[in-house]
Amino acid sequence: MSANNLQLYDDGRLRHLLTLDGLPARILTQILDTAESFLSVSEVERDVKKVPLLRGKAIFNIFFENSTRTRTTFEIAAKRLSADVVNLNINASSQSKGETLLDTIANLSAMQADMFIVRHAAAGAGHLIARHVAPHIHIINAGDGRCSHPTQGLLDMFTLRHYKGPFHNLRVAIVGDVLHSRVARSQIHALTTLGCPDVRVVAPQTLLPRDVENLGVHVFHKMEEGIKDVDAVLMLRLQNERMRGARLPSAGEYFKHWGLTPDKLKRAKPDAIVMHPGPMNRGVEIDSAVADGMQSVILSQVTFGIAVRMAVMSILAGNQV
Amino acid sequence: MPKQLPPPEQLIDLLAEQIKPHIRAKCALVGIHTGGVWIMDALAERLGQDLPRGVLDIAFYRDDFSRIGLHPETKPSHLPFDVEDRNILLIDDVLYTGRTIRAAMNLLFDYGRPAAIKLAVLVDRGGRELPVCADFFGLKLDLASDEHISLENNATEGLHFVMKRKT
């Protein structure tokens, strides 16, 4: 697989994290296990909530698209590893003056960068950068177009494993706007690689990619059937900006059929967990009573996201040529 | 290379006898993953007091990270007591270069300022690269740099030493 030629060294160690598509289970599991250890760095018992692992490394958070949660948790993760972090909001910098993506990266590399965390609206932006950086520099894709969001997929796997145990016993439903969601793609790749036997996508036909079955998922067009007896419901954000198109009638109508309400959630197993990558549209894809309810683990996802990102950064930084 | 080593359980008895008179108020045992934790648990039985126990994994504090990367198997550190003003007995299986102990002390200080740290090891095999020495040890050896000793544990044999010569 071409992405793996880029993101793995010849000996199979991780060099960049660009996509979960094709990434072997052994690497996914290594990241999840390592993240388990990093959870203890944030414990209340610790006076100093950081470790010296990436002392002296320069990490650049380059976001060409808006983000609060992802950018902040990457920043906190880097700081807990004692790295120096620089945040770049590219809308407000030289790119608006016409600098190309690769020129921006070349300039930052000249400032002795060790790692770039990149979010970009264009699919494959991380791959492009990975092809052009010096051998010691690592790239983490923090979301590219509709394509992939690997650290979100990983933190979702961490959350699932934390609450529900091994993947080979699980039935998981991914519900909502799968078509526009890079999160859904990363979740599907991770779940199938880790051996989850029943991965479901639950959405109206208009919000599913063509040939989605080829990804190894079961497709449901009725919410009540799709989430029946599942261990976890992974909600997706409905991208409001798409509402104007012909794909959907209205937010109210969407909520009626596809919004997760306490009533619909009763179809899942009684101890099923509810996840959401944020930001949530309350009253569109999820009812507040569910988002804030006993089965919601949405805020744990955010906390676990820090440990998972610490794991990815430290594994990458430690893997040199 | 020594042909016959005493069984680890016997060395743990020896260690316990040395340590007993030094147990004071606000004392806690801290084992370093993985061998140190086995010894800590065996010691705790012999010391016969209900001392608080913690475990350390020093993977995030190693000084060879930039050379060999992150250890493939890390375990969470867990100290379920306040380290501040505590008398810590740090426990490991084999004392060699002293680098693990340096890392473990840095990790401990990120939890708080202990009153004192003492070091107990099952085997001091020589070959120090840092100014570290054990306050209590079960056995002292003088091994060459190509000789390797480790403590292993499994259901059939229990705790046992494995000696190897590096090729």
What would the pLDDT profile of A203-224 be if each residue is shown by its tens digit?
999 999 999 999 999 999 999 9
How does the average pLDDT of chain A come out, rounded? 93
Asked if residues A64 and A129 have their Cβ atoms less than 8 Å apart, the reply is: no
Q: How far apart are CA B155 and CA B136, in angstroms?
A: 28
Q: How far apart are CA A34 and CA A45, in angstroms?
A: 20
- What per-residue confidence (pLDDT) applies to A320? 87
Q: CA nearest B62 in A: which residue?
A: A53
- From A81's Cα to the closest Cα of chain B, the distance in A is 9
Handedness of CA B76, B81, B83, B86 (dihedral sign): negative
Instruction: Look at residue A310 and give its three-state secondary structure.
Output: helix
- What per-residue confidence (pLDDT) applies to A3? 72
Are the beta carbons of B70 and A315 separated by less than 8 Å? yes
Asked if residues A312 and A151 have their Cβ atoms less than 8 Å apart, the reply is: yes
Place B32 in a pLDDT band, splitting at 50, 70 and 90. very high
Q: How far apart are CA A5 and CA A152, in angstroms?
A: 22
- CB contact set of B92 (below 8 Å; sequence gap of 6+): B31, B32, B35, B36, B39, B100, B101, B104, B119, B120, B121, B122
Are the beta carbons of A52 and B61 separated by less than 8 Å? yes
The pair of three-digit structure tokens given for residue A212, joined into one six-digit string: 């989605």
- What per-residue confidence (pLDDT) applies to A1? 46
Place B21 in a pLDDT band, splitting at 50, 70 and 90. very high
- What per-residue confidence (pLDDT) applies to A243? 58
Q: What integer is the mean pLDDT of A287-294?
A: 98
Instruction: Read off the pLDDT of residues A107-141 as tens digits, 9 standing for 90 and up.
Output: 999 999 999 999 999 999 999 999 999 999 999 99
Model-level pTM greater than 0.90?
A: yes
Give which of B34, B70, B86, B88 to mutate to test A binding, by max A Cβ within 10 Å: B70
- Percent of residues, chain A, with pLDDT higher than 90: 85
- From B140's Cα to the closest Cα of chain A, the distance in A is 32
Q: What integer is the mean pLDDT of B109-127?
A: 97
Q: CA nearest A36 in B: which residue?
A: B76
Looking at the predicted structure, is the pLDDT value of residue B56 above 50?
yes
Are the beta carbons of B65 and A34 separated by less than 8 Å? no
Of the partner residues B60, B83, B112, the one whose CB lies closest to the CB of residue A51: B60
Give which of A11, A53, A114 to mutate to test B binding, by max B Cβ within 10 Å: A53
Q: What integer is the mean pLDDT of B26-30?
A: 97
Asked if residues B60 and A41 have their Cβ atoms less than 8 Å apart, the reply is: yes
- From A40's Cα to the closest Cα of chain B, the distance in A is 6
φ/ψ of residue A89, rounded to 5:
-95, 100
Are the beta carbons of A40 and B78 separated by less than 8 Å? yes
Looking at the predicted structure, is the pLDDT value of residue B3 above 80?
no
Element (H, E) at A25: helix A25-39
Supply angle C-alpha A250, A64, A286, rounded to 5. 30
Asked if residues A33 and A201 have their Cβ atoms less than 8 Å apart, the reply is: no
Q: CA nearest B108 in A: which residue?
A: A46
Instruction: Read off the pLDDT of residues B58-100 as tens digits, 9 standing for 90 and up.
Output: 999 999 998 899 998 899 999 999 999 999 999 999 999 999 9
| E-assigned strand segments in A186-252 | 198-202, 218-220, 232-235
Instruction: Read off the pLDDT of residues A248-267 as tens digits, 9 standing for 90 and up.
Output: 778 888 999 999 999 999 99
How many other C-beta atoms are found inside a 10 Å radius of the C-beta of residue A198?
Answer: 15
ipTM topping 0.90: no
**If we measure between CA atoms, which residue out of A185, A139, A170 comes closest to residue A277?**
A185
Q: Could you tell me if A33 lies within 8 Å of chain B, comparing CB atoms?
A: yes
**Ordered domains of chain B (ranges, CATH):** 8-63+81-165 (3.40.50.2020)
